[in-house]
A = this chain, B = another copy of it.
Amino acid sequence: MMNINCLGVLGGDKRQAALAELLAQDGYTVYAAGLDHLPLPETVNRAEIGELEEKCTVILLPLPVTKDGKTLFAPFSEKEIVLDDSFAALFRKKEIYGGQISKLLETSSGWEGVNLNDYSIREEFAVENAAVTAESAIALACEKSEKAISGSRCLVAGFGRIGKALAWMLRGIGAEVTVSARKASDLAWIRVYGYTPVKTQDLAGTGPYDFVFNTVPFKIFTAGVLERMEGISLLMDLASMPGGVDFAAAQEKGIPAVHALSLPGKMSPRTAAGILKNTVYAMMEE
């Protein structure tokens, strides 16, 4: 029997498991598959994929739906879940929500005309995750460095969503914050919020910094720029692959550098699940 209040949660990591729990708390009947190696509360029903097809009208897929383009992103699943025509056939009458869902379309022609919804392209989803990313980046930097951030000199490269949230939090714990950007209006906001502005092209000549956070998805921190930055305690790249840091050059120059990706799901899966849930609810209402 199908139930409009029955939601299927399929694949994903800790964020997806927390999502299942939050949905159940809200009164939904929740069936979860592909989360075999993660604990789930009693309020969530463990199920086979087939049961989801049978019982649920709405299916929630992970972010991203797939990493390799061939199987569902489901690192805690007992068995691989292949994305093929028969997978598409199972769910083509469902209302489906997923992250980077366009990748699904390439796995089977069966997805044509299906009600596919991508929560990951929603601006509010990106904004709230940027805040969680910023906080996680600070925690990680504190842990990975022998210096405290409070009272230190920090550079944030880029004033997009993550840059905005990160600069704000760094100042909020008492760091001296410099932010680089290209646009004159961004530089104006940077001044207004009490940070020191620097044009991206002038970055190399500034500093010294104790911590450098990159949020720009271009190779800004080239060997040449890194040359001038020896002595920093930590260089953290938050930009999605391939990032903005020449890691080989950093290693050569003895600059501790990390590429920190997907922080919300890894470090704050419950909060990340809440953000996901609210975004999907908003999409359902529209």
Q: Which residues of A contact B (CB under 8 A)?
A: 14, 18, 122-124, 126-128, 130-132, 134-136, 138-140, 142-143, 145-152, 165, 168-169, 171-176, 183-185, 187-189, 191-194, 233, 264, 267-272, 282
Asked if B185 and A131 make an inter-chain contact with CB atoms under 8 angstroms apart, the answer reads: no
CA distance A98 to B138 in the complex (A): 32
Residue pair A124, B188 in contact (C-beta under 8 Å): yes
Given A146-B18, A147-B270: A165 and B139 interface contact (C-beta under 8 Å): no
- Residue of B127, B150, B165, B268 touching A169 (CB-CB under 8 A): B150
Pairwise interchain contact A147-B271, C-beta atoms closer than 8 A: yes
Could you tell me the distance in whole angstroms from the C-beta of A269 to the nearest C-beta in chain B? 5
Quick one: closest B residue to A190, CB to CB?
B127
Q: Which of A152, A191, A233, A272 has the most CB of B within 10 A?
A: A191
Chain B residues whose C-beta falls within 8 Å of the C-beta of A128 in the assembled complex: 188, 191-192
Complex contact A270–B139 (CB within 8 A): no
- A165 contact from B18, B152, B192, B270, Cβ within 8 A: B192
Cα–Cα, bound, A188→B191 (Å): 23
Contacts of A149 in B (CB 8 A): 135
- Chain B residue numbers with a CB within 8 Å of A173 are 134-135, 138, 169, 172-173
**Assembly stoichiometry (copies):** 4
Enumerate chain B residues within 8 angstroms of A143, measured Cβ to Cβ: 139, 143, 267
Among A127, A267, A270, chain B packs the most CB atoms within 10 A around the CB of A127
Residues of B within 8 A of A188 (CB): 123-124, 127-128
Cβ-defined contact, A142 with B267, below 8 A: yes
Task: List residues of chain B with CB within 8 A of the CB of A165.
Answer: 192
In order of increasing CB-CB distance, the 10 nearest A-B pairs are: A172-B172, A123-B185, A139-B142, A127-B188, A148-B271, A148-B268, A124-B184, A146-B270, A124-B188, A139-B139
Contacts of A271 in B (CB 8 A): 146-148, 151-152
A-B contact pairs, 17 of them (CB 8 A): A123-B185, A123-B188, A127-B185, A131-B148, A135-B173, A136-B148, A138-B173, A139-B140, A145-B268, A146-B269, A146-B271, A147-B268, A148-B271, A150-B192, A151-B271, A152-B271, A171-B172
CB <8 Å contact, A131 and B151? yes
Chain B residues with Cβ under 8 A from A184's Cβ?
Answer: 122-124, 282
Q: Give me 8 other A-B pairs in contact (C-beta within 8 A), A127-B188, A131-B150, A184-B282 excluded.
A: A14-B146, A124-B185, A136-B148, A148-B272, A151-B271, A168-B192, A172-B172, A174-B194
Q: Which residues of chain B are near A171, meaning CB under 8 Å?
A: 172, 194
CB distance from A246 to the nearest CB of B (A): 25
Check if B268 sits within 8 Å of A146, measured CB to CB. yes
